[in-house]
Amino acid sequence: MLDDPPVVGIAGAPAWAGRAGHLLRAGGYVPAAYSYAADWPLNLIDEYPALLLVDAAEPTWEARVVAVTTEQATRRIPVLLIAPDRGLEAAARRVGAADALTLPDLENRLLDCVRAYARRLDEATRAALDCQCQEPLPPLARLGVRRFNAGAYYAQHGAFEQQWMAEAGPVRELYRAILQVGVAYYHLTRGNHAGALKMLQRSVQWFAQLPDACQGVDVRQLRQDAGRVRHTLGEMPPGEIASFDRSLLRPVRLVDEGELGVET
């Protein structure tokens, strides 16, 4: 996801969607439409857009923005309000939007606003992450992987949390992503449907900032595995969680390495 063209979401079906989509594609962005479905704003997380455009003509736009900016799984998605005039700038910021852009300015200022507010790693952070991802997995994180792969989902939390706290660089999000998936699997094996689903939803934001492989971890595979579990769990009535197919709880795959062994 890190190397894919940035996705810019357009909420609802505003009259200006076609015009904005054309401008976004010309600027190298991928426009994506999101409906105000019953699962708003969680329907954003599969693609995890770098920015979301919300139409001020939507009568409930304030509540829609608040839902995005307060939900743990989506609150890091910046929101840009598209308003008829400048009178809504203060109101937009009050509910958590990054800014407001007027419709008359859409043609000339949309791409500048997207570049200013879209959630992307800056050049220095990206370079630091690329460098750190070439390093071997640290001992504590290796221990966490062993525990995760042994099904010791509760114990893996401690190892990855220590590693995350000890690391100041951007690679720390790798440890947080694996940790949260492991905690979700722990909740799932304990029959906690809501807890498992919530942790899987929250993990998506950390995967969005990682390359497909980092420190020997096959991030792409883990992202796909966790997504499969999330979708399967989301379609399952909470009362049926005991019948969840646990073969979907796959191990963390390490690329170009032998087995780590089983140490808990």
pLDDT at residue 247 in the model:
97
- 81 and 104 in a common domain: yes
pLDDT at residue 144 in the model:
98
pLDDT in tens, 186-243: 999 999 999 999 999 999 999 998 999 999 999 999 999 999 999 999 999 999 999 9
Average pLDDT, the chain: 94
Full strand arrangement of the beta sheet holding 30-34: 30-34, 7-11, 51-55, 79-83, 99-102
Domain ranges, residue 87: 7-120
Q: Is the residue at 1 inside a domain?
A: no
pLDDT in tens, 43-67: 999 999 999 999 999 999 999 999 9
Average pLDDT over residues 78-88: 94
Closest to 208 (Cα-Cα) out of 196, 199, 220, 218: 220
pLDDT at residue 120 in the model:
87
Closest to 31 (Cα-Cα) out of 53, 57, 3: 53
- 198 and 91 in a common domain: no
- 12 and 70 in a common domain: yes
- 202 and 221 in a common domain: yes
pLDDT in tens, 149-194: 999 999 999 999 999 999 999 999 999 999 999 999 999 999 999 9
Average pLDDT over residues 75-101: 95
Q: Is the residue at 214 inside a domain?
A: yes
**Percent of the chain whose predicted confidence (pLDDT) is above 90:** 91
Number of domains in the chain: 2
Reported as a pLDDT band with limits 50, 70 and 90, residue 263 is very low
pLDDT at residue 4 in the model:
80
- 141 and 113 in a common domain: no
pLDDT at 251 > cutoff 50: yes
pLDDT at residue 18 in the model:
97
Q: Is the residue at 260 inside a domain?
A: no
Over the chain, what HEC string results? CCCCCCEEEEECCCCCHHHHHHHHHHCCCEEEEECCCCCCCHHHCCCCCCEEEEECCCCCHHHHHHHHHHCCCCCCCCEEEEECCHHHHHHHHHCCCCEEEEHHHHHHHHHHHHHHHCCCCCHHHHHHHHHHHCCCCCHHHHHHHHHHHCCCHHHHHHHHHHHHHHCCCCCHHHHHHHHHHHHHHHHHHCCCHHHHHHHHHHHHHHHCCCCCEECCEEHHHHHHHHHHHHHHHHCCCHHHHHHCCHHHCCCCCECCCCCCCCCC
Burial class (CB in 10 A: 0-12, 13-18, 19+), 211: middle
pLDDT at 261 > cutoff 50: no
HSE-CB for 163 with a 13 A CA cutoff: 24
**Percent of the chain whose predicted confidence (pLDDT) is above 70:** 95
Q: Is the residue at 263 inside a domain?
A: no
Return d(Cα 230, Cα 244) in angstroms, integer.
11
Reported as a pLDDT band with limits 50, 70 and 90, residue 256 is low
Q: Which residues pair with 32 in a beta bridge?
A: 9
Average pLDDT over residues 69-88: 95
Q: Is the residue at 255 inside a domain?
A: no
pLDDT at residue 255 in the model:
87
pLDDT at residue 257 in the model:
59
pLDDT in tens, 125-138: 999 999 999 999 99
The CATH number for 147's domain is 1.10.3450.10
